[in-house]
Amino acid sequence: MDFSQLNKKSAKSFNDQKALIKKLSQGRVVNCPSCQQPIVLSLSQSTSNRAVAQCQQGCTFIELDLA
């Protein structure tokens, strides 16, 4: 297995997730690629600077630490 490729891929998907969260936080509408429902962003700043982006069906679920 080529670990350098694997790391690149996960880094890219992490950046994709950050870009998605950024779009949502700017009030832009992003649809889930699977169910085509809008992805909703929720922020929980009480526990930590954590952002959760998920669609209604739950096929997209992204949890990111913003700190």
Interaction site with Zn ion (CB under 5 A) = 32, 34-35, 55, 57, 59-60
Strand order in the sheet with 40-44: 40-44, 50-54, 61-65
Per the CB < 8 A criterion, the answer to whether 62 and 21 are in contact is yes
Pick between residue 14 and residue 61 the one whose CB is nearest to Zn ion. Answer: 61
Instruction: Report, in Å, the least distance between residue 36 CB and Zn ion.
Output: 7
Pairing of strands 61-65, 50-54: antiparallel
Instruction: Report, in Å, the least distance between residue 34 CB and Zn ion.
Output: 4
Taking CB positions, which residue lies at the least distance from Zn ion? 32
Instruction: Report, in Å, the least distance between residue 59 CB and Zn ion.
Output: 4
